[in-house]
Structure 1
Amino acid sequence: MRIAHVSDSHLTNPEGVATSVGTTVALLRAAGHRVVLHCPGPLSRCRRRPGEVPSLSVPTRPYRLALPRPPSAPVDVVHVHTTGPLGVAGLRWAAARGVPTVLTWHTDLVAYAAHYPEIPIGAAYAGMRLGLRWRAGDLWALAHPGPGRQARLAALGRTLLAHTTVLIAPSAKTATMMAAMAGRTPIVVLPTPAAAPHPDADDRRRLRARLGIPADAPVLLAVGRATPEKNPELLLAAFAQVRRELPAARLVLLGARRHRLAVRRTARRYGVVDALHLLRPVPRDRVGAHYRAADVLAFTSTTDTQGLVLSEAEAYGLPVAIVDTQLVERPGTGTTRPVAEPSPAAFGALLTRLLTERELRGAVIRDGRAAVAAWSRDRYLAELVKLYASLPPVSAGTCHPKARRGDASRCS
């Protein structure tokens, strides 16, 4: 099968979209499918790989802005992962040529718009390219928080799905969120599987020693950005609660590139700055060492569409604690993760129990590993290929399905 994957996130970006795209492309190629990944690449032509598009680094951001260059070779399926310039170009290219289109909804745009000004800007661009007749009032509403922005983002979501044959939701939470926008576009829940544990060079004791953490200290780990949408305030407040019961406990926050000073100020306010290890992102093959060195993964985000780090941690036998009740069910088995109310007292109490209650820890670790084994990479690949094979033919120059009035004036 010939498949074009399109992503505005380059594979070296240490975040969930790039991880998911890289996993999917690698599995398809290993199975013998002809896959071209269209994503941002270097400006220099001689340094770009097939499919990569010239791009520029975005100041203060860990991603690159690529030219809206769509696929060029004939393909059987276009699989779009983002809604930036490249993703929109892929949708329009597929619609003009009658190629079935799969869109994976990796990011909660409505939630992220409150924290990233580029989301409304990108929404305005995408809407205009896809046929929404934005007026000055629409652009003004997009630029300002409130119901007006949400209404315009919802209109954009309907337009994007009008160009889509099938929408992939990486969790039941995301499927529920997108149901109101989907119209007649079917939604399939297909989580990205966790990678197998990596044979890291650093073991638990060695990494702890390198970080200056005593071998017997209880260690909480958080993996990902320390930006406001990930709720580091709750994480630090809950950690302060844990320290009241376990004074030797440490918190490792891995992946903090921005807002580092703000995180340290907050930690100082809660009296835990001396027990905080604030680490910048590391290559993916080194993340596993940090899972091995920790005792519990603490996850305070409520804006994630899947929370891939949850399954990654469970693959390493690390128990996880969350506050998002909509991500409580593990892919694969239907078992549930430990969850608490999003308050410092409740979440701190859950973290303390996972650190101190041996039977609870054992049960959580066992269920997590079973879920990872049940939702294997082979099972994910089989479901994805079956989905591709089931896609109906589409008439060139039409939307998938036909757009309702006001959603898209044309798709070619």
Structure 2
Amino acid sequence: MSRVRIAHFCDSHPGRTDGVAISVETTVSLLRSAGHEVQVYQPAPLLRGRDEPCGVRSVPVPLRNIRVGVPRFSGMRPVPQIVHIHTPGPVGIGGLRYAKAHEIPVVMTWHTDLLAYSAHFMEIQVGAAHAAQRLGLGWTARDYLRLARPGTERRLQLVRLGQEFLDRTAVVIAPSEKTAASFAEFERVPPVWTVPTSVALAECPLGRSEVRRSLRIPDGVPVVLAVGRATREKDPQLLLASFARLLRHLPDARLVMLGVRQQRLTILRLARQAGVAHALRIVRPVPHSRMAAYYRAADVLAFASTTDTQGLVLLEAEQAGLPVVLADAALAGRPGEESPGRMSTAPDADSFAAALARVLTDPALHRAVAEAGRAAAESYSTQRYLDHLLAAYAFARAAQPAPAAPPIR
């Protein structure tokens, strides 16, 4: 494919340890390595944002690892051939508006299940109101009030807003079959390409024993690893309740929750209530370059969330040869496989704990799950992901009518 100019718009700031930021960083790196011209617009510090080539001035949200961008995209040079939207926040909305003004085809990756997240984060409703205003949707006061009412009214209003995003998009990228199926709720949907992000797990010199020593965990003890935020949408309560049941069968087991920045006191309180505080290790986010060592130090990855659209940690764990057990059957299908392959259970503590116990106590099953995961991860390379992404870009450009030539004066 010839060289393409792509502008990416993302509301997760660089270095943030979430799936969206990591996906954008991976995508941009692959595109640049392949010789394409890429601009990335993400929140930058308020006073330095204007000095960074693609930095969007932003302000931090107190007590949250989030920055709210104040975007202005009037003089982008050179003008991109594709606008790729990753988030529906102020930066993403600014990208949509820019694309419309310059008649540039839009590719949107549906990274986040905002309908599910709206039950946990008030900023989803605030962001929806801002998006409706910036897109000039002409909502009435009653429309905005619906966002404040939990339940059906809020959901219908968010679906209505999501439809506006889709109507402005040439191609929507779903990072999983689960996400692709979720578009059935909308009336009109552009072509959907299911393209999971492929990440390359960096090598790390730290060994299994070194990580375990840092966590005060003996070598022979079974370790359950959970990676990511511990906020409500990730269901840490299910994780802790399941681990409490696991301890009845494996009393020396340990649970490592890696990547916990917020809600640490809440997690400790829930752990004490579940009777597992003595067996819990809470670890703040670590550089991505050290993740492989933590996967090697564990015996199974427990994925309790049912709100994720892909779960990059699942692919990372499989690359490292760590068996995965998840409580979301909709994410059981591995990238590149036609049939579901991951070990999944119903999202209840008894089922989840039983599956974890089976993997930890059955060496043959442990080996089979690990080998299947590693084989699937190896078959879905970063080059395969890049090829699919570029094909989606080409499709979007072909589907978008060329802008009218300016009149000759």
TM-score category (smaller protein): over 0.9
Aligned to 1:321: 325
Q: Decide which of 2, 5, 12 is 2:5's aligned counterpart.
A: 2
Instruction: Return the letter of the residue paired with 1:252.
Output: V
Distance 1:46 1:170 in 2: 30
Instruction: State the Cα distance separating 1:292 from its structure 2 match.
Output: 1.0
Which of 344, 347, 356 is residue 351 of structure 1 equivalent to?
356
1:333–1:370 CA contact under 8 A, matched in 2: no
Matches within 5 A, 1:284-323: 284-323=288-327
CA distance in 1, matches of 2:128, 2:401: 26
Partners of 1:389 and 1:212 in 2: how far apart? 52
Read off the aligned partner of 1:96 and give its amino acid letter.
Answer: A
Q: What is the Cα deviation at residue 394 of structure 1?
A: 3.6
How many angstroms apart in 1 are the aligned matches of 2:102 and 2:123?
Answer: 30
Which of 188, 193, 202 is the aligned partner of 1:183? Answer: 188
Unaligned regions of 5+ residues in structure 1, if any?
A: 398-412
Q: CA deviation at 1:140?
A: 1.5
Q: 1:139 aligns with which of 138, 141, 144?
A: 144
| SS of residue paired to 2:58 | strand
| 1:194–1:315 contact (8 Å) kept in structure 2 | no
Mapped contact 1:198–1:285 kept (Cα < 8 A):
yes
**Distance in 2 separating the partners of 1:379 and 1:157:** 29
Does 1:387 find its partner at 2:397?
A: no
TM-score in terms of structure 1 length: 0.93
CA drift of 1:95 comes to 1.2
Q: 1:252–1:276: 8 Å Cα contact kept in structure 2?
A: yes
2:113 counterpart of 1:101: no
Q: So what's the TM-score if we normalise by structure 2?
A: 0.94
Match of 2:40 in 1: 37
Is the 1:121–1:143 contact (alpha carbons within 8 Å) kept by the matching residues of 2? no
Q: Deviations over 1:356-395 (max 9, x none)?
A: 1111111111111111111110001011112212222346
C-alpha separation between the residues in 1 aligned to 2:277 and 2:50? 43
Question: Partner of 1:32: helix, strand, or coil?
Answer: coil
Matched residue, 1:219: 223
CA contact (8 A) 1:194 1:372 kept: no
Q: Secondary structure in 2 aligned to 1:306?
A: coil
Of 203, 208, 212, which residue of structure 1 is paired with 2:207? 203
| 8 Å CA contact 1:9, 1:39 repeated in 2 | yes
**Distance verdict in 2 for CA 1:46–1:7, change over 3 Å:** closer
State the shift of 1:179 in Å. 3.1
Aligned pairs (5 A) from 1:107-126: 107-126=112-131
Higher RCO (CA < 8 A, seq sep 6+): 1
Contact 1:124 1:134 in 2 (8 A): no
Residue 47 (structure 1) shift: 8.4
Letter in 1 for 2:400: P
- The letter for the 2-side match of 1:17 is V
Distance in 1, matches of 2:252 and 2:146, equals 49
Q: CA deviation at 1:78?
A: 0.4
| Residue of structure 2 equivalent to 1:404 | none
How do 1:234-253 residues align onto structure 2 when only pairs under 5 Å count?
234-253=238-257
Q: How does 1:50-69 map to 2 (within 5 A)?
A: 50-69=53-72
Q: Secondary structure at the match of 1:387?
A: helix
Equivalent position to 1:159, from 157, 164, 169: 164
Deviation at 1:144, TM superposition (A): 2.4
- Residue number among 258, 262, 269 corresponding to 1:265 in the alignment: 269
Instruction: Answer yes or no: is the 8 Å Cα contact 2:9–2:42 preserved in 1.
Output: yes
Distance 2:303 2:85 in 1: 28
Equivalent residue number for residue 24 of structure 1: 27
Deviation at 1:396, TM superposition (A): 5.6
The 3-state SS of whatever aligns with 2:229 is: coil
Amino acid corresponding to residue 257 of structure 1 in structure 2: R
Deviation of 1:200 (Å) = 1.4
Q: Secondary structure at the match of 1:221?
A: strand
Q: Which residue of 1 aligns with 2:407?
A: none
Runs of 4+ that moved beyond 3 A: 44-49, 394-397
Aligned length: 396
Q: In structure 1, what is the Cα distance between the partners aligned to 2:23 and 2:195?
A: 11
Distance 2:265 2:43 in 1: 30
Query: 3-state DSSP class of the match of 2:344?
Result: coil
